[in-house]
Amino acid sequence: MDWSHRQRLVWGFLGFMFALFVAASLASGYYVDWLWFESLGYADVFWRSLAGRWLVGLAGGAVFGGLLLVNLWLALRDAPLLAPGVVAFPYQRWFRLRPLMLVVTAIALVLGGMAGIALAQEWLTFALLPRRVAFGVQDPLFGKDVSYYVFVVPALVAAHQLLNAATLLSLIAAVAAYAITGRVRLDGRWLSIHPHARVHLAVLLGFYLLLKAAGYWLATYRLLFSERGVAFGASYADIYAQLPALKALIVLSVLTALLAFATPALRNYRLLVAGLVAMLAASVVLGSVVPSLVQNFVVRPNEIVKETPFIKLNIEYTRRAYNLDRIREQPFPAAELLSARDLEKEAGTIGNIRLWDWRVLSSAFQQLQGIRTYYQFRDVDIDRYRIGDRLRQVVLAAREIDYARLPGKTWLNQHLKYTHGYGVVVSPASEVTREGQPPLWVKDIPPVQAPGVPEELRVERPEIYFGEHTDPYAIVGTREPEFHYPRGDENEYTTYAGRDGIPVGRPLARLAFALWTGDYNVLFSRALTPESRALIYRNIVARVNKIAPFLLYDRDPYLVVADGRLVWIQDAYTVTGAYPYSEPYGEGNVRFNYIRNSVKAVVDAYDGTVSFYLADPDDPLIKAYASLFPGLFQPLERLSPTLRAHLRYPEDLFLVQMDRYAKYHMQDPVVFYNKEDMWARPKEKVGVGTELRDVDPYYVIMQLPGEAAPEFLLMVPYTPVGRQNMIAWLAARSDGDRYGDLLVYKFPKQKVVYGPEQIEALIDQNDAIAEKLNLWNQQGSQVQRGNLLVIPVRDSLLYVEPIYLQSASTKLPELRRVVVAHGNRVVMEETLDQALRRLFGTAAPLPDQPEAPGGERPAADDLAKLVEEANRFFRELQDDLKTYGQRLERLGEVLRRLQEQAR
């Protein structure tokens, strides 16, 4: 055996091994995913998704590659190279027919495979087509149900794009093949085309022109999503100029296609060339120039008259697509004065005013309850629990592991030993200790409940194997004990007893997992046993997205303590951008013009169990998905009553609806056109510094006007565009049968109601408050301003802003003051109770503040408290006298100047 032969064998063996490695790596991904889906009970979802993707990909690849291969075969069939001396192509001598056929076959297979892979990404579009569910709403232009645009048109567009690209590429490839074989060549000044080539190319060109006509036909439907006019959707110019142009182009394309088919028989190219030139000219003149002229010289001078019918349609369909038509509007008198008796009647609202901002709490919890450096509180969730007979607003935070801060970043520590976070911190949102810190109802490791905290907050299974920031995989059931939690100078260890995990103890599964992760420590670690299991997709957002990637997920999953366990609730949405006349929201890949909160996903923090519940079973999109994946979604009635009590209206959906309602509350087309009553999110000062930021929606417990009891709401105020006064507030309900109800309370337009930015200005203009804040900022501390909460109380408003102080050395924020404003009065005190008493009178019967579980309320006549209160009043009196004297001096100066001018 010579050396060259040995080299070929070696290179062949290396190539085979490389191909085997690539194939094994690809197969390992499918195998690991199958094991994971099966472990969660969703194997059917895996197989349906895989089968759908492969079927659509293979069909698309076969069509694309088959069309290309057939046309190349027809072009090269019975076409030997020309006789010597006849050169139709500069490099013709390089080609031989048989090897060329093999090459083009390989090219067709590769391009077909690429097209199939691209089309496989659209497999859901084709899978949902036979499961189309009617929306019960017809478009006003073509009279078709909205489902036609959501389910049918996308499939037609995808199929058209595939056929159009395959036909065009086949035409180009056939021309090149005929040129190589000399059947298409320049003969002097003329183009010489073989009869066989003439027929073949004419048929290909005719089919391409028919596909062009189909493209114009599909473009007529895109007019319903036009952005040409003053409102989204088909406008005057689209209906009366663009639509006729498209119809004309369809007819012209079909006629030109017929000319192409007839050209071989006519043996005259002039008619075909004339048809192609006419198509090109018509596409420019009719498709672009004429609509532009109509828009500029017919519509624009009479825009309000011409566009009014289309503005009405845009308003109607946008309100439907975002559920804005369900918002109930009510007047809100915004009376200027509240009394202490009013506050007493609204104890449920006043007692739940949130004093802790989530940004501050995450830092406070980290300082107070971090325990170890590798524990992190990265997010704080707001929820409500019933404490005795009161509904209380609470804040919760999960203690997860920050793997970047592990004491030793070894493979064993990251994946086998430190497998889970531990415990939760729960604090009332409206209370503060004497030290200015949040009182902790549930704290420490292991979790400890404060005396008096109800059983509902009892945590029996505090381990967090699945969380918001738990990303690395973990292997459990190994010879290495899992770190449980620190206890003094020692550590407690545990063994995972949950149901989740894919088996990696078997050799095949271990090899597949190592290939899938690219981490070959799995292969060689002696800590693994036949019972070892790998926990993957531990980030809850990635976890639910892996199972149902066709849903859009809320950015803020939240934690619930339920039946002794820690459970995550993740809101999910069905969205589409194919709702006619509805104005889109978002940008890039996340752009839609229809949204429903159709699903609530629930993930157990310990065993990773995932359940999907139908929150809006009437949504046509979720009906189609449920038909495609039977068994994936469960009725909401199957969700445990404990968890159902903690469902809340999702903030991302509220933001979308709030943004759209700021414009689409205007239903009169003239008002809409002139933008006379546009609303906007107000501004506030939050955090450190003086920068103004948009007010974020916030959860409150309050008693709505006319209701008998307080409830859990998500709300946000509105201001008119370009102004700072408040015009309305929007609220979403979350409790019981009223879940999902949306209410807008509109203020009288003839009176000025202070907006958040104006209240911030009043705070900054208050000499006593400004002096105090400036003094704190100059003493090595940092002042942080919390959210300015606008709290509707009966038929009036309270404004509450907590003030925090954080030392540069300890980084532990403390609640030092509470600012309360009502009308045009602003006060700042150490507690909310003191601020309310100062604002509404010390002798007035203010509402009792709810007693913190495990705490003792100081007696009303406590001597130290009375002394402190007396001193505070004395200081206030001094400040008031000082201010009074300054104002007298200013008044005297003004009178003196007036007297001088009168002389």
Mention every residue, 6+ apart, whose C-beta is less than 8 A from residue 676.
666
Give the pLDDT score at 744: 96
Report how far residue 118's alpha carbon sits from residue 60's, in angstroms, rounded to the nearest whole number: 9
DSSP string computed for 594-656: EEEEEEEEEEETTT--EEEEES-TT-HHHHHHHHHSTTSEEEGGGS-HHHHTT----HHHHHH
Sign of the torsion angle spanned by Cα atoms 204, 207, 213, 214:
negative
- What are the E-state strand segments in 304-357? 328-331
pLDDT at position 85 over 50: no
**Tokens matching residue 500:** 């989740």
pLDDT digits (tens, 9 = 90+) for 586-596: 888 889 999 99
pLDDT digits (tens, 9 = 90+) for 416-453: 999 999 999 999 999 998 888 999 999 999 899 888 88
When pLDDT is cut at 50, 70 and 90, the band that residue 809 belongs to is: confident
pLDDT at position 94 over 60: no
pLDDT digits (tens, 9 = 90+) for 302-320: 999 999 999 999 999 999 9
Say whether 700 sits in a helix, a strand or coil: strand
Rg (CA), the chain: 36
Give the pLDDT score at 87: 45
When pLDDT is cut at 50, 70 and 90, the band that residue 691 belongs to is: confident
Give mean pLDDT, residues 76-87.
Answer: 54
Give the pLDDT score at 894: 53
pLDDT at position 611 over 70: yes
Give the pLDDT score at 799: 93
Give the pLDDT score at 767: 87
Report how far residue 639's alpha carbon sits from residue 637's, in angstroms, rounded to the nearest whole number: 5
Alpha carbon 662 to chain centroid distance? Answer: 20
Report how far residue 30's alpha carbon sits from residue 512's, in angstroms, rounded to the nearest whole number: 9
pLDDT at position 12 over 70: no
411 or 869, greater pLDDT: 411
**Tokens matching residue 182:** 């000399």
Give mean pLDDT, residues 184-202.
Answer: 79
537 or 337, greater pLDDT: 537
Give the pLDDT score at 895: 57
Point out the least confidently predicted range of 77-91, 224-238, 494-508: 77-91
Give mean pLDDT, residues 223-231.
Answer: 94
Say whether 219 sits in a helix, a strand or coil: helix
* 8 A C-beta contact, residue 557 and residue 650: no
Give the pLDDT score at 493: 92
* 8 A C-beta contact, residue 594 and residue 582: yes
pLDDT digits (tens, 9 = 90+) for 654-671: 999 999 999 999 999 999
209 or 839, greater pLDDT: 209
When pLDDT is cut at 50, 70 and 90, the band that residue 749 belongs to is: confident
When pLDDT is cut at 50, 70 and 90, the band that residue 93 belongs to is: very low
Give the pLDDT score at 847: 47
Highest mean pLDDT among 389-398, 600-609, 825-834: 600-609
Closest to 444 in 3D by CA, of 375, 535, 390 = 375
Report how far residue 524's alpha carbon sits from residue 49's, in angstroms, rounded to the nearest whole number: 33
pLDDT at position 3 over 80: no
pLDDT at position 888 over 70: no
* 8 A C-beta contact, residue 561 and residue 456: yes
Give mean pLDDT, residues 220-234.
Answer: 94
Q: At what angle do helices 43-76 and 3-40 cross, to 10 degrees?
A: 140
pLDDT at position 692 over 60: yes
**Tokens matching residue 148:** 């036609």
pLDDT at position 147 over 60: yes
Mention every residue, 6+ apart, whose C-beta is less than 8 A from residue 122.
56, 154, 158
When the pLDDT of each residue in the chain is averaged and rounded to a whole number, the result is 86
pLDDT digits (tens, 9 = 90+) for 557-571: 999 999 999 999 999
Query: Could you give the count of Cα atoms lying within 13 Å of 363 in the half-sphere of its Cβ?
Result: 17
pLDDT above 70 coverage of the chain, percent? 87
Give the pLDDT score at 892: 59
Query: Could you give the count of Cα atoms lying within 13 Å of 253 in the half-sphere of its Cβ?
Result: 19
**Tokens matching residue 485:** 């939690």
- What are the E-state strand segments in 86-238? 184-187, 190-193
Report how far residue 880's alpha carbon sits from residue 883's, in angstroms, rounded to the nearest whole number: 5
pLDDT digits (tens, 9 = 90+) for 839-883: 887 544 444 444 545 443 333 344 444 445 555 555 545 555 554
pLDDT at position 189 over 70: no
pLDDT digits (tens, 9 = 90+) for 639-649: 999 999 999 99
Which amino acid, residue 392?
A: R
868 or 335, greater pLDDT: 335
